[in-house]
Structure 1
Amino acid sequence: MPYMPVIKICGVKTPEILDCVVAQGADMVGFNTFGKSPRYIDWATIEALVARASGRIESVVLLVDPDDDDVRAAAATGAGWLQLHGHETPARVSAIKAATGKKVIKALPVGGPEDLAAVSAYAQLADGLILDAKPPADATRPGGLGATFDWSLLAGLDPDVAFMLSGGLDKDNVARAVREVMPFGLDAASGVEREKGVKDAGLISAFIANARAAATELRK
């Protein structure tokens, strides 16, 4: 099958931007529950957006070290996917999958080769992986910081491990990401915003178009 990466736009907050993400042909849309994030929205808003997305695009609810109440609330929104973006252990990932019956994406921070040691353990348990730029020690949130990481670190990964690439992806570097990494998927948040937490329809359109064009070029 010809290569074409799955595209996820994360941190969507409004019906208008959701409709734009759908119209531009993204595959997944993410909704953020982390209170310290500029992309945070409450449970009622997430539930309404998930309902609006139903049948049009896959919905993902992002959680950071959630307790059981938050896991239940996320599952109750109707989203098909839960994204775990904290320090969840493999055992916790398994427990959340079992408790909710939802598909689970585990995000893993990458800053150096030592961070890739955890990939195989999570790859056996999660339905998807996101490899994101490792935040600095003083960061107040685990992702969405607009920073990339050294993609050459991924060259040694087991080629059978499918992952989504995240961290600082935008319209200007996504084509290079496609050519150099050829990830299963691409995950963008801050890179398609005109200011923190405010998505821009033009940047979303350009990001998706550039990703698709780069993948199409690889097939020639």
Structure 2
Amino acid sequence: MTAPATLAATPPAPVRPGHLKVCGARTRADLALLADTGPTLVGLWHGVPGGPADLEADHLADLAATAIRLGLEPVLVTFLDDPDRLARLARSTGIRWIQLHAYQSPALVADLRQRLPYAVLVKVLHLSRGRCLERAFTQAFERAGTDLFLLDTVTDDGRVGSTGQPLDPAHVHALLPRLNTPFLLAGGLNTTNRDTYRTVTDHPLYAGADIDTAARDRTGHLTHDAVTALTRAWHPRLQEATA
């Protein structure tokens, strides 16, 4: 599937609040489940070495096309830092959202912004023991063309992405004065800790939640009941829309 040529001259749409993203879909059945339970965004992994949901390029393209047909917005979640490769992937799959989930630079964001003016560029900010590892570069990322930040945890042993480790709301609030760009909240979100983050989700830059671990059963598979409960807890309006 190739992105329409008209997209090349189209600026990214404003990032609206109220998103729920479920990350790590692996099959068409996963996408059908998500389309039935309320999330607006689905994370598709590619270029995540050793990741349990990492997809080959052909599989990524198939799932991206399926997601679009089902009314979901596919998000490329990647550790890649090659702008040529990322731009080719975006154009060949029709994916408009790119989540840079490792330690890519502001220069890469600027390069992608020039190549893909229509894309929504998401940069993850990693918090380790309360300290944002990219704190000194947040404004550089914004100047480079970042549309959305995603706040997530780093484990003590350095793992990033889908760790199920919660963020401390106080650490999030300490970072927010540095941001002028909307953000998604990640890091161990589940159906029982929504109220813990009430002051974060009330912030005017809050754009939604990103969930992976809590959407799965003990075998690692997405379940209808789990995603339904998460949608109800984090974005009940999305749940109403699918009822």
Query: Quick check: TM above 0.5?
Result: yes
The counterpart of 2:98, out of the listed 71, 82, 96, is 82
How far is 1:11 from its partner?
0.6
Instruction: Give me the identity figure in percent.
Output: 24
**What code does the residue aligned with 1:103 have?**
V
> How well do the aligned residues superpose, as a CA RMSD in angstroms?
2.5
Aligned length in residues: 211
Q: What residue number does 2:235 align with? A: 212
Q: Decide which of 35, 43, 56 is 2:57's aligned counterpart.
A: 43
1:121 aligns with 2:140: yes
* Residue aligning to 1:132: 152
Q: Does the 8 Å contact 2:189/2:214 carry over to 1?
A: yes
1:94 to 110, 134, 148: 110
Partner-residue secondary structure (3-state), 2:188? coil
The alignment status of 1:181 with 2:175, answered yes or no, reads no
Is the CA contact (8 Å cut-off) linking 1:7 and 1:208 kept in structure 2?
Answer: yes
CA distance in 2, matches of 1:151, 1:214: 23
**Relative to structure 2, which stretch is displaced further, 6-15 or 128-137?**
128-137
Q: Tell me, which stretches of 5 or more residues in structure 2 are unaligned? A: 1-15
Secondary structure of 1:129's counterpart equals strand
Q: How far apart in 2 are the matches of 1:99 and 1:168?
A: 34
Does 2:172 correspond to 1:145? no
- Measure the CA separation in 1 of the matches of 2:222 and 2:180: 33
Cα deviation code 1:153-210 (max 9, x no counterpart): 2224237431000111122223433x23113210011221114642222211111111
- Assess if the C-alpha contact under 8 Å between 1:133 and 1:143 holds in 2: yes
Task: Summarize the Cα distance change of 1:145–1:196 in structure 2 as closer, same or farther, 3 Å threshold.
Answer: farther
| Unaligned stretches of 5+ residues in structure 1 | none
Aligned equivalents of 1:191, 1:104: Cα separation in 2: 25
The CA distance in 2 between the partners of 1:94 and 1:36, in whole Å, is: 28
SS at match of 1:184: strand
